[in-house]
Amino acid sequence: MEGSDLALYGTDWCLKSSALKNGLQSAWVDFEYFNVETDEQAAEEIKAQYNGELKFPVVKLAGKYLKNPSWGQLREELKKNDLL
């Protein structure tokens, strides 16, 4: 991953994707956002993690994939990785 240790994979219409994106922006956390509906490479990366199924939102943090995390779960992971 270039430029960031954190990536969010989601869609623009998914409320949970939007909530996570807004939370990260509000906390001033540097991350990359990938729309899995318009970015085929991002979609393939997620499908490779979940037996060919496209899941979202998914957060990639320090090489670990978190499927559909709550904001609280994500905050804890960010703290563990000194990003918050």
Q: Which domains does the chain have, with CATH numbers?
A: 6-80 (3.40.30.10)
Alpha-carbon span 41 to 44, nearest angstrom: 5
pLDDT at 71: 93
Q: Model confidence at 84, in pLDDT bands (50, 70, 90)?
A: confident
**Span 7-22, mean pLDDT?**
96
User: Is it the case that residue 14 has pLDDT exceeding 60?
Assistant: yes
User: Is it the case that residue 3 has pLDDT exceeding 70?
Assistant: no
**Contact criterion met (CB below 8 Å) for 8 and 21:** yes
Alpha-carbon span 67 to 45, nearest angstrom: 13
Digit-coded pLDDT (tens) for 20-76: 999 999 999 999 999 999 999 999 999 999 999 999 999 999 889 999 999 999 999
